[in-house]
Amino acid sequence: MRTKLSGIVFIILLAHIYMMFTGGCAQISAPTGGPKDTLAPVLVKAAPENNSIQFTGNKVVLAFDEYIDLQDLPSNLLISPVQKYSPVISYNLKTITVKFKDTLAPNTTYSLNFGNAIKDINEGNVFKNFNYVFSTGDYIDSFELKGKVIMAETGKVDSTLMVLLYRNSPDTAVQHRKPDYTARLNGDGSFQFNYLPADQFSIYALKDGDGNKYYNAKSEIFGFHTEAININKNNPIISLSAFSEKTETPKSAPGFTGDKKGGDKYLRFQNNITAGRQDLLTTLELTCKNVLKKVELDSIVLCDTSFKKITGYSVSLDSTRKKIIIENKWQPENVLKLIIYKNGFQDSTGLTMSKNDTINFITRSISEYGSLKLSFKNIDLSKHPVLQFMDGENIKLKSAVTSPEWLNKMMLPGEYEVRILFDENNNGKWDSGDYSKKLQPEITLALPKKISIKADWENERDIDLKQ
């Protein structure tokens, strides 16, 4: 007993000496935390086990190693084959329970892909694309189908589309019922189906506007594979081109001219001149809000600074009767005037101009343009490729490609997205598809890198179109 007390006194004495020399006071603090948790939840138990066969029940229980949360299940969870009635899914602490309402088909492999729905409750670490699989038969189906979906008109990707599979179904099935299997698109437009049986499938892409998971409106973005696919060990990589038959109303150009103070009391025109400088390569355009009822084209005069009329230009009205087009072989660095006489125009609401209008502008100089040479490899000229230089959603220039080398010495500087339209019917525009006629849309290829044009510079690019 004496020895034990002596030990305690010795420890207290040491602590007192330590405090005297350090000048500190004893402080009690909570232990510091460890590294931040960056790990997603882990499945530790499933009933029945993942990849089970001969499943006969109607309930699945999944247990994880930490507390979990489920986020946005309707947009994340994919069940294949697709269920007529959505299962009841609940979660509590570390457990997810799935109760099926449908009667499960015999000899069928089912998969539940939770997307990004499962995450831990503290740090929000996502268990990405967790897949739970079981079979009501004696084995798990193991065939795969891969592919990619692009927007036919732009060559770009819309990852909000879904890919649909119909098993042994007529062509009209996609127009009146849900598919048998669905898959999401990745950011690059690719998709993959897993756990498929050996059978014949029709495949489609759809941006489901009304949520019914089938194609029932021509305004919906849609794509289809012309032939049914026999699923086996050596399935082809599928390419789908999505399109919409709905046409959009073109946007009007900015920049009012005319009587700006009059508001809607007077007829006003817009023009496409930028910062007072007319592009040498394009027409001069005047646009009004309403249809023009009265049009006297000789009331538009192009002249020099001395008001001497220029020769060789033409003035026309387009089919909408809202746009007047002035075509001319513009010469560089010319100071010009466009005079619009007020008595020559009246719109469908009866508005007229309050006074004559004069637009002063100067044409661009040659040095403001750059030269661009493109050298193509593996380009199919028989499909009538057309280059489209894009500024946002607007086509700034389009030009047919008739040989492996393309040259333009007059390009406006800037960075352009470049697309190649394969204009197979050679009508100068993109043509949509038509599922009722099993007609595929024309294809547009978007080049992965922008092309930069510098003023007064010879710009070159090599482009290999090998897929």
- Do 118 and 153 share a domain, yes or no? no
Q: What is the mean pLDDT of residues 330-350?
A: 96
Comparing 435 with 20, the larger pLDDT belongs to 435
Torsion over CA: 31, 34, 39, 43 (sign): negative
State how far the Cα of 68 lies from the Cα of 442, in Å rounded to an integer. Answer: 47
pLDDT tens string 190-218: 999 999 999 999 999 999 878 888 998 88
Q: pLDDT confidence of 335, banded at 50, 70, 90?
A: very high
> Per-residue b/e over 153-173, b at no fewer than 16 CB within 10 Å?
bbbebeeebbbbbbbebeeeb
The confidence score (pLDDT) of residue 69 equals 95
The confidence score (pLDDT) of residue 210 equals 80
Report the CATH number that the domain containing residue 175 is assigned in CATH.
2.60.40.10
Residue 248 lies in a domain: no
- Please say whether the beta carbons of 383 and 351 come within 8 A: no
Last residue of a domain, one of 309, 338, 367: 367
445 sits in the region (left: phi over 0; alpha: psi -120 to 50; else beta) called beta
Report the CATH number that the domain containing residue 113 is assigned in CATH.
2.60.40.1220
Structure tokens at 456: 């007064």
pLDDT tens string 169-190: 999 999 999 999 999 999 999 9
For the chain, give the percent of residues with pLDDT over 70.
88
Residue 298 lies in a domain: yes
Phi, psi of 42 (to 5 degrees): -120, 135
Residues 6+ apart with CB under 8 A from 109: 133, 134, 135, 137, 140, 141, 195, 197
Residue 432 lies in a domain: yes
State how far the Cα of 19 lies from the Cα of 13, in Å rounded to an integer. Answer: 10
- Do 189 and 206 share a domain, yes or no? yes
pLDDT at 107 over 70: yes
pLDDT tens string 379-396: 999 999 999 999 888 898
Q: pLDDT confidence of 38, banded at 50, 70, 90?
A: confident
- Please say whether the beta carbons of 60 and 98 come within 8 A: yes
Phi, psi of 52 (to 5 degrees): -75, 155
Cis bond before residue 413 (omega within 30° of 0): no
Instruction: Tell me how crowded residue 223 is: count the other CB atoms within 10 A of its CB.
Output: 26
The confidence score (pLDDT) of residue 429 equals 92
Residue 339 lies in a domain: yes
- Please say whether the beta carbons of 57 and 47 come within 8 A: no
Residues in the chain: 467
The confidence score (pLDDT) of residue 237 equals 94
- Do 110 and 206 share a domain, yes or no? no
Residue 10 lies in a domain: no
- Do 148 and 124 share a domain, yes or no? no
Structure tokens at 231: 């699923």
Last residue of a domain, one of 339, 367, 395: 367
Comparing 109 with 28, the larger pLDDT belongs to 109
Q: What is the mean pLDDT of residues 31-41?
A: 71
- Do 189 and 230 share a domain, yes or no? yes
Residue 51 lies in a domain: yes
pLDDT tens string 438-449: 999 999 999 999
pLDDT at 366 over 90: yes
Instruction: Tell me how crowded residue 267 is: count the other CB atoms within 10 A of its CB.
Output: 24
- Please say whether the beta carbons of 220 and 209 come within 8 A: yes
Comparing 32 with 462, the larger pLDDT belongs to 462
- Do 270 and 361 share a domain, yes or no? yes
pLDDT tens string 395-413: 989 999 999 999 999 998 9
- Do 224 and 275 share a domain, yes or no? no
Beta-strand pair 323-327/284-287: antiparallel
State how far the Cα of 271 lies from the Cα of 401, in Å rounded to an integer. Answer: 31
Residue 22 lies in a domain: no
Residue 123 lies in a domain: yes
pLDDT at 421 over 90: yes
Last residue of a domain, one of 175, 209, 242: 242
Report the CATH number that the domain containing residue 390 is assigned in CATH.
2.60.40.1120
Q: How far is CA 460 from CA 86, 263, 310, 406, in A?
A: 56, 48, 37, 10
Q: pLDDT confidence of 34, banded at 50, 70, 90?
A: low
- Do 380 and 360 share a domain, yes or no? no
Q: pLDDT confidence of 364, banded at 50, 70, 90?
A: very high
- Do 319 and 376 share a domain, yes or no? no
Comparing 336 with 261, the larger pLDDT belongs to 336
H/E element, 153: none
The confidence score (pLDDT) of residue 29 equals 41
Domain around 349: 260-367
CA dihedral 170, 165, 153, 425 (to 10 degrees): -40
- Do 387 and 408 share a domain, yes or no? yes
- Do 340 and 272 share a domain, yes or no? yes
- Please say whether the beta carbons of 231 and 197 come within 8 A: yes
**Which residue bears the tokens 């190693």?**
65
Number of domains in the chain: 4
The confidence score (pLDDT) of residue 30 equals 38
Report the CATH number that the domain containing residue 304 is assigned in CATH.
2.60.40.3710
The confidence score (pLDDT) of residue 247 equals 56
Structure tokens at 436: 């009722």
The confidence score (pLDDT) of residue 245 equals 85
- Do 190 and 227 share a domain, yes or no? yes
The confidence score (pLDDT) of residue 53 equals 97
State how far the Cα of 189 lies from the Cα of 21, in Å rounded to an integer. Answer: 69
